[in-house]
Every structure is written in structure tokens, then in C-alpha cells.
A and B are shown apart, each in its own frame.
Chain A
């Protein structure tokens, strides 16, 4: 069973904020929440990650629920180049620095001009 659940698709208007939701109700206390995105014909690329606190970087913001069972990726001003499939992922730390990533099926974001 998938560890994360996301809507199949979402649509946004250019230059408006986008909130991409993710449910991960079975998350363990040590799992990190990652978001990657995949542009057409490319491999996934890192967007942002966090454990408990909200996180911001130049690409996006990550809001994590207090119980950690859900999170939201926020793109503050969507551009046409943000049209991609966005994956919410749980990262399990197995040993040392070795990590396993559990991908969901992703949300396809369509941005309208």
C-alpha cells in the first residue's frame, strides 16, 4: 500500500498560489517528508523536505500538520514552468545515512496562462 496519498491532478492559474495536499497517516516519528517534481521526459528533482516544522526555500514552502499525518506544498506564485507531476514522498532512514524513499503516485499540476 502507498504510504502517501495525493490528488491525481490539480489546476492553477499563472501567478496565483498553489497548495498541493498530501496525506501520510501512517508516517513514523523518524520519517521525513519530501517533495519532488518531475517535468516531462525528465527525472524527478528535489523541491523541499522537512520533519516537523514548516520549511521555506527559494522554490516553495512546506507546511506540516501538527500530527504529521498530512502536509501541503505551497508554490507562492505558479508559473507555466511549474507545470509538472509533484510527488509527496516519505524518507525512511534505515542505517547510517542510507535512506529509502517511498513515492506516491503524484499530483499532475496544470498551470493556465
Chain B
């Protein structure tokens, strides 16, 4: 494993409640990403970060926000969860120097919004 920890691994919540997923890395990599995985869609990019406090939107960012106050932590927040956000969420990291061409993924968080 590439030193990536996602928490929680599983979560069940109700529609309208806020949810925060955490990604923690021990590799000191500069770039971090949040993806969601749904049947028939592969992985789709939600948000990404290119440094502390530097983030940007991916292709499916509506309803999500992120924060990165430290190099090692990247948080994904669903301000008001909806059933359409039921999915498996993956965090990924990549380096900025040697090895920048490979992303390493965490084990995922399975989120169910009822």
C-alpha cells in the first residue's frame, strides 16, 4: 500500500445530513484527488488538490466541497447528502517529481445515503 488511509471505510447516513470523508497520506506527495465510482461509470474526478489550500473542481463536483489544510490530509465534504451521492469514494495521490506519472489509490469509502 502507498501509505493512504481513508476514513471511515463504510458509512450510512440520512438525506440532508452533512458528511465528511478523510484521506490521510504518509508519502508527502503534493497532489491529491477524490474520485467517486459508480456502476457503468468507472472512476470520475470530484475535486483535486495541487498543494496546501490549493484545490480545484473535477468533472462531478456539484454538491461536494474539499479542504486541504495540511499536506497529508484531504477532506471531502457533502454539505447536505443526497441519495445520488451513494457511491464508493476513492482518494488518490501522486508525486510532483520522480514518479509523478502514477496515481496511488486508497482502499475506498463506501457511502450509503438513505
Contacts and interface: CB of A to CB of B under 8 A. Distances in A.
A105 B41 contact: yes
Contacts, number: 54
B22 interface: no
A43 B106 contact: yes
Contacts of B41: 105
Contact of B42 (A46, A91, A96, A103): A103
Interface string A81-106: 00000010001000011111101111
A105 B40 contact: yes
B101 A32 contact: yes
A80 B97 CA distance: 35
B91 to A, nearest CB: 8
B19 to A, nearest CB: 20
Given A43-B90, A91-B101, A105-B40, A100 B45 contact: yes
B94 A99 contact: yes
B92 to A, nearest CB: 8
B31 interface: yes
B42 A105 contact: yes
A77 B44 CA distance: 31
Interface size bracket, B side: 20 to 34
Interface in A31-86: 32, 41-46, 49
A45 B105 contact: yes
Given A44-B105, A105-B41, A97 B90 contact: no
Contact of A46 (B35, B40, B45, B103): B103
A65 B96 CA distance: 29
A43 B43 CA distance: 10
A28 to B, nearest CB: 16
B103 A97 contact: no
A99 B100 contact: yes
B43 A98 contact: no
Interface of B: 4, 31, 35, 40-45, 48, 50, 90, 92, 94-97, 100-108
